[in-house]
Amino acid sequence: MLKILVLFAHPTLEQSVVNKKLIRRMRSLPDISVRDLYELYPDFDIPVRVEQAALERHDIVIWMHPIYWYSAPPIIKQWIDLVLLHDWAYGARGTALKDKWIFNAVTTGATLEAYQEGGHHGYPLKDFLLPYKQTAALCHMHYLPPYVIDGTFSKQPKEIEQDIEQFISHLQLLQSGKFEAAALQQFSYLNQLKDQA
């Protein structure tokens, strides 16, 4: 069973509809560690070695966050700036993360239809996540397509529960070790994995 590290960032979790339930559900599962960055580091003072040690203990890493102004909440950037050090995560001697898997799991108020050419936001959602893909490449990691729970502003509670359970089932598929990273690159979004399971 592969071990998953969730680096979770939501600056107003008390107002969340989806993420609050999702995090509670994930914390009940085996071999999944959830690190709520805003809860742990409200002053943004991130202890580098603690976070590096967490990364070293896991096989799959997830940057999990709502989409804020076409990106992640700012603590994710702070985490990247401080934790992914030269000659540890990247550079000639920086191989600590080599071949680990990483991806973004995001929530959006808008639907994926709004995130496309001609849609309200003009570009596919995955295009806004390109800096994370390139960060993973620099760190010798396998960046998987993002997982998206979209349209959260207009969903009913039952639909949200279904979205949460679908996401959990996807995590369990990834944990099983049945898939090669290269095979997952065929998808635009990791949500599509269910069609192949």
pLDDT tens digits along 119-148: 899 999 999 999 999 999 999 999 999 999
Residue 2: how many other CB atoms lie within 10 Å: 14
Residue 196 banded pLDDT, cuts 50, 70, 90: low
Q: What is the mean pLDDT of the chain?
A: 94
What is the 3-class SS of the chain, one letter each residue?
Answer: CCCEEEEECCCCHHHCCCHHHHHHHHCCCCCEEEEEHHHHCCCCCCCHHHHHHHHHCCCEEEEEEECECCECCHHHHHHHHHHCCECCCECCCCCCCCCCEEEEEEECCCCHHHCCCCCCCCCCHHHHCHHHHHHHHHCCCEECCCEEECCHHHCCHHHHHHHHHHHHHHHHHHHCCCCCHHHHCCCCCHHHHHHCC
Cα separation, 91 vs 112, whole angstroms: 36
Residue 111 banded pLDDT, cuts 50, 70, 90: confident
- Span 158-180, pLDDT tens digits: 999 999 999 999 999 999 989 99
CA 24 to chain centre: 16
Is the pLDDT at 197 greater than 70? The verdict is no
If you average pLDDT over residues 17-44, what whole number do you get?
95
If you average pLDDT over residues 5-9, what whole number do you get?
98
Residue 122: how many other CB atoms lie within 10 Å: 12
Q: What's the angle, vertex CA 165, arms to CA 41 and CA 28, rounded to 5?
A: 50
Residue-level pLDDT at 34: 97
Residue-level pLDDT at 161: 94
Structural contact between residues 106 and 148, judged by C-beta atoms closer than 8 angstroms: yes
Matching residue, tokens 């409200």: 42
Of 196 and 122, the structure prediction assigns the larger pLDDT to 122
CATH architecture of 2-190: 3-Layer(aba) Sandwich (3.40)
Phi, psi for residue 142 in degrees, rounded to 5: -95, 110
Cα separation, 148 vs 97, whole angstroms: 24
Is the pLDDT at 33 greater than 60? The verdict is yes
Residue-level pLDDT at 110: 87
Cα separation, 192 vs 196, whole angstroms: 8
- Span 149-159, pLDDT tens digits: 998 888 899 99
Predicted structure pTM score: 0.95
